Each structure stands twice: as C-alpha cells, then as structure tokens.
C-alpha cells in the first residue's frame, strides 16, 4: 500500500480547523516612527491597524539610537557575520555585547545564540545530556523551548507545580546527594503573566545543591533598576546559576543568550550543537542590541510609560467588566475560553476596529483557556487604550460573552 502523505497532512489540518485552532498569519508591516500603528496587507490592499500583541514591549525596535547603530554597523561591516562563531563568525560586536550582558546580570560571562528558543534548547539539552546522573526539575508551565531541550537531552526529569516551592522541595528530596540536580523555571509566565518567587526557589535549590536555570525572556529590559529582570528587581541575581534571556522582546531585536560563570558558559559553548553549528548573528543586529541594552540600563522612561499603560488598561477593563487574569506582570490575558469565539473576536477587532490582537489557542495554552494576549507598550497612548476597551466592550455585548463581576 502506498501511503499518501498529502492526504494525512490534509486530514490533520482539517481537524485543526474544525477545532478552531488553525492559525492564520496577519501580514503586518511596521511603520518606523509610528508604532503601534502598522499596515495590514490583505487582498483588498493595505489598511492601518493598531498592534496590541507585540513583544516589543518598550518600543526599542523604533528607538533612533538602536536604528542608527544598526545602520552604522551594516555600512562598516556588511550584512552577515560570515559563518558560525567557531569558523569566522565571531565579530568584535559579539564580544562587546556578551560583555554588556554579563555586566547586566552581574555574571562572569555570557554567550549569544540566534534566538531565545535556541538558547534554551541548546543549553538545557547540553546540560541534560552531558552531565552524568542528572535530573532536571522543570516547572510545569515552562516554555516549549525549555521542554524541547529537556526532552532532547533524554535525561531524567521531574515536573513540579508552577511556582510551588513546597512541591519543588518534595521532588528534590526524592533524590540523594549523588544525583546532579538542575532546577529550570521562568520568572514571568508568557501567557498568564504570573511572576515566580525567584529567591524562594533558589533557596530550595541551594538546600539540595541544585543548579538553577532561570528563563527571564519576558522580564529582561522591563524589570529591575537596569532592566536585569525579576532576579535583579528582587535582589537575587547572585543566587541564580544561569540566567537566560532574549534580545527579541523588550530589547526590540532578535537573539538569545545565557549568562553565568566562566566554567558553566564555556561548557555549554564547547558542547552545545545548537551553538556550534549555527551561523552567527550579523553585526547590525548585535550593534542594535548593544545600543538597546546600554540605553535601558540607564533610562527608566520606557519602563515607566509601559507600566502606566498596563495599569490604565487593567483599570478600564475592570470598569467595563471585561474579564482578564489579574497578575503582577505586564501581560494582560483577556479570557474568552472558547477557540472559535476567540478567533471570531480577534477577526472582528481587526475588521471592524483596525485593532490587531492575535488569538491564543491550543497548544500554546490548554484547551478551555483560550484568550486574547494583550501587551500594552511604552508607545501606546491613553487614547489607544480607551479605543481598545470600547471595541472590546462592544464585541462583548454583540457576542453575548460573560462579563467579570466587580
């Protein structure tokens, strides 16, 4: 019997569509100097929309210093890095940016990757596969990149309840001192917006002589006096063994990194295939990231503006009874809890109001927790917030969705 791959693929895609979980990309063109306004390209032409689901939280992708640094580096060094870091791809900008990131997190050194996903996948898979007799203790709601890295390593793993130091302590206590232990967790959950008790988790890990691996991708740039993340904000950076971050969110570019001791980072640099065999980031990206990190170490304006917009949006949603997860972070999940309705609301926001919010469905979030993941930025205005909330209020009434009870 000859199997038809196309038939199988078609059936699987149809099932995804029937469940309401099939994803359609919006073809967005950002306008320099006008963000959060952008152009939405459709068959009918280009229409201006307001973006409410970008991870460029502080608008650094629009920052003049960043753009100039990128242009200058491109004219000086050309377009690409020329190879992997091991073969001709390590540039002066790599060294400068890694020094800047190490200083940001008060660590001895840092290592750049092509994305935050690759940083997690490569680092955790290397630690899990190369460290003998190791068990990785993974928070149940960790990023897909962390899960994939642990899975690829084929090491033993234990899943502990999100943010529960008690459950982590119980799981760690199951193993004696001969077991090498790694605790992997996130500071800010990307979909629910809750913040982990980083210091308490590190204290439990230290009690069991465990290495701590902290994903700060949704926190770097945004939290702490210099943008070092939740660990910096809470004064516990020195308690974390490895801090992982991204340049693709609050810093407005692309790339990922880890920071830690010389020995730890050099170990991963020397054995991680996801680092060794990947073409290096180009000079223009590195120069822009360097400018962004340096800027946010000194400037508090962007963080303050973004926090004000988050607080204003939460207040206005509460006033109108639009249900959202109350969390201490900057991510505002507006709950719909139905995949088809979630997509319908997102479509209506785009078509009727010129508001772009991507629906978040399974497998990104569990079934029954579908939502609009709204991320106010430093470049949104009070008028933008008011317009968004009015649009949501109209659609909540039109679609007979349940409202939050004050």
Q: Quick one: pLDDT at residue 402? A: 76
Residues 318 and 193 both lie in one domain: no
Condensed to tens digits (0 to 9), the pLDDT of residues 118-131 reads: 999 999 999 999 99
Helix axes 64-77, 283-298, angle to 10 degrees: 150
Residues 199 and 233 both lie in one domain: yes
Condensed to tens digits (0 to 9), the pLDDT of residues 202-261 reads: 999 999 999 999 999 999 999 999 999 999 999 999 999 999 999 999 999 999 999 999
Distances (CA, A) of 154 to 122, 144, 286: 13, 16, 33
Judging by beta carbons within 10 Å of its beta carbon (0-12, 13-18, 19+), is residue 141 exposed, middle or buried?
Answer: buried
pLDDT of residue 330 exceeding 60, the answer is yes
Distances (CA, A) of 13 to 21, 320, 346, 371: 10, 37, 21, 21
DSSP codes joined into one string, 167-227: HHHHHHHTS-TTSEEEEEEESB-TTT--B--HHHHHHHHHHTT-EEEEE-TTTTTTSSTTS
Q: Quick one: pLDDT at residue 35? A: 93
Q: Quick one: pLDDT at residue 286? A: 98
pLDDT of residue 71 exceeding 70, the answer is yes
Q: Quick one: pLDDT at residue 1? A: 56
Residues 346 and 250 both lie in one domain: no
Last residue of a domain, one of 262, 279, 298: 298
| pLDDT average, residue stretch 139-168 | 96
Q: Quick one: pLDDT at residue 62? A: 96
Give Cβ neighbours of residue 390 (< 8 Å, ≥ 6 apart). Answer: none
Give Cβ neighbours of residue 99 (< 8 Å, ≥ 6 apart). Answer: 110
Q: Quick one: pLDDT at residue 361? A: 87
Q: Quick one: pLDDT at residue 84? A: 97
Q: What is the CATH number of the domain that holds 241?
A: 3.40.640.10
Residues 82 and 173 both lie in one domain: yes
Residues 293 and 313 both lie in one domain: no
Residues 187 and 292 both lie in one domain: yes
The pLDDT-based confidence of 406 (bands split at 50, 70, 90) is very low
Residues 244 and 320 both lie in one domain: no
- The answer to whether residue 1 is domain-embedded is no
Q: Quick one: pLDDT at residue 141? A: 92
Establish whether the linkage from the previous residue to 363 is cis, with ω within 30° of 0.
yes
Last residue of a domain, one of 279, 298, 317: 298
Q: 14 an active-site residue?
A: no
pLDDT of residue 106 exceeding 90, the answer is yes
- The answer to whether residue 40 is domain-embedded is yes
Last residue of a domain, one of 232, 264, 298: 298
- As a whole number of angstroms, the distance between CA 105 and CA 109 comes to 9
Q: Quick one: pLDDT at residue 284? A: 98
- As a whole number of angstroms, the distance between CA 197 and CA 222 comes to 17
- The answer to whether residue 19 is domain-embedded is no
pLDDT of residue 63 exceeding 90, the answer is yes
Residues 250 and 344 both lie in one domain: no
Q: What is the CATH number of the domain that holds 39?
A: 3.90.1150.10
Question: Structurally, how many domains does the chain consist of?
Answer: 2
- As a whole number of angstroms, the distance between CA 274 and CA 247 comes to 17
Q: Quick one: pLDDT at residue 271? A: 98
The answer to whether the CB of 323 falls within 8 A of the CB of 406 is no
- The answer to whether residue 18 is domain-embedded is no
- The answer to whether residue 59 is domain-embedded is no
The pLDDT-based confidence of 405 (bands split at 50, 70, 90) is low
Judging by beta carbons within 10 Å of its beta carbon (0-12, 13-18, 19+), is residue 207 exposed, middle or buried?
Answer: exposed
- As a whole number of angstroms, the distance between CA 148 and CA 145 comes to 5
- The answer to whether residue 356 is domain-embedded is yes
The answer to whether the CB of 167 falls within 8 A of the CB of 218 is no
Residues 257 and 360 both lie in one domain: no
The pLDDT-based confidence of 348 (bands split at 50, 70, 90) is very high
Instruction: Supply the mean pLDDT for the chain.
Output: 95
Sheet holding 37-42, edge to edge: 27-30, 37-42, 45-51, 355-356
Residues 247 and 111 both lie in one domain: yes
- As a whole number of angstroms, the distance between CA 334 and CA 312 comes to 15
**% of the chain surpassing 90 pLDDT:** 88
Residues 238 and 357 both lie in one domain: no
Among candidate residues 107, 171, 181, 249, the one labeled active-site is 249
- The answer to whether residue 10 is domain-embedded is no
Judging by beta carbons within 10 Å of its beta carbon (0-12, 13-18, 19+), is residue 10 exposed, middle or buried?
Answer: exposed
Range of the domain at 342: 25-54+300-398
DSSP codes joined into one string, 332-395: EEEE---HHHHHHHHHHHHHHH-EE--EE-TTTS-TT--EEEE---TT--HHHHHHHHHHHHHH
- The answer to whether residue 20 is domain-embedded is no
Helix (H) or strand (E) run with residue 30 in it:
strand 27-30
Condensed to tens digits (0 to 9), the pLDDT of residues 3-59 reads: 789 999 999 999 988 888 888 899 999 999 999 999 999 998 999 999 999 999 999
Residues 131 and 257 both lie in one domain: yes
| pLDDT average, residue stretch 342-352 | 94
| pLDDT average, residue stretch 275-280 | 97
């Amino acid at each position: 019997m000859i199997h038809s791959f196309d038939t199988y693929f078609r059936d699987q895609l149809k099932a995804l569509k029937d469940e309401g979980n099939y994803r359609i990309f919006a073809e967005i063109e950002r306008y320099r100097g006008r963000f959060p306004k952008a152009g939405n390209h459709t068959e009918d032409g280009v229409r201006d929309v307001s973006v409410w689901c970008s991870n460029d939280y502080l608008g650094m992708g629009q920052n003049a210093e960043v753009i100039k640094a990128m242009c200058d580096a491109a004219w000086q060094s050309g377009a690409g890095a020329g190879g992997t870091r091991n073969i001709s791809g390590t540039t002066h900008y790599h060294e400068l940016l890694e020094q800047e990131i190490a200083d940001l997190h008060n660590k001895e050194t840092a290592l750049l990757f092509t994305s935050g996903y690759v940083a997690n996948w490569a680092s955790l898979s290397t630690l899990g596969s190369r460290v003998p007799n190791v068990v990785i203790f993974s928070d149940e709601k960790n990023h897909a990149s962390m899960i994939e890295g642990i899975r690829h390593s084929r090491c033993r793993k234990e899943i502990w309840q999100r943010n529960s130091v008690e459950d982590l302590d119980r799981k760690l206590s199951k193993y004696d001192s001969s077991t090498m232990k790694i605790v992997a967790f996130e500071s800010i959950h990307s979909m629910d917006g809750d913040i982990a008790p980083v210091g308490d988790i590190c204290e439990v890990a230290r009690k069991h002589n465990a290495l701590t691996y902290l994903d700060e991708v949704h926190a770097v740039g945004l939290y702490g006096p210099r943008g070092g993340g939740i660990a910096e904000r809470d004064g516990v950076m020195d308690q974390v063994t490895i801090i992982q971050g991204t340049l693709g969110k609050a810093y407005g570019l692309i790339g990922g990194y880890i920071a830690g001791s010389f020995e730890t980072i050099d170990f991963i640099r020397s054995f991680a295939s996801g680092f060794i065999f990947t073409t290096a980031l180009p000079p223009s990206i590195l120069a822009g990231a360097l400018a962004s990190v340096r800027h946010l170490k000194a400037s508090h304006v962007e963080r303050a503006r973004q926090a004000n917009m988050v607080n204003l949006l939460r207040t206005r949603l509460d006033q109108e009874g639009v249900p959202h997860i109350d969390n201490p972070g900057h991510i505002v999940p507006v709950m719909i809890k139905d995949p088809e309705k979630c997509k319908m609301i997102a479509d209506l926001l785009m078509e009727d109001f010129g508001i772009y919010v991507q629906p978040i469905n399974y497998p990104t979030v569990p079934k029954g927790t579908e939502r609009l993941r709204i991320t106010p930025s430093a470049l949104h205005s009070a008028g933008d917030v008011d317009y968004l909330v009015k649009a949501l209020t109209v659609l909540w009434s039109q679609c007979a969705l349940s409202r939050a009870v004050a």
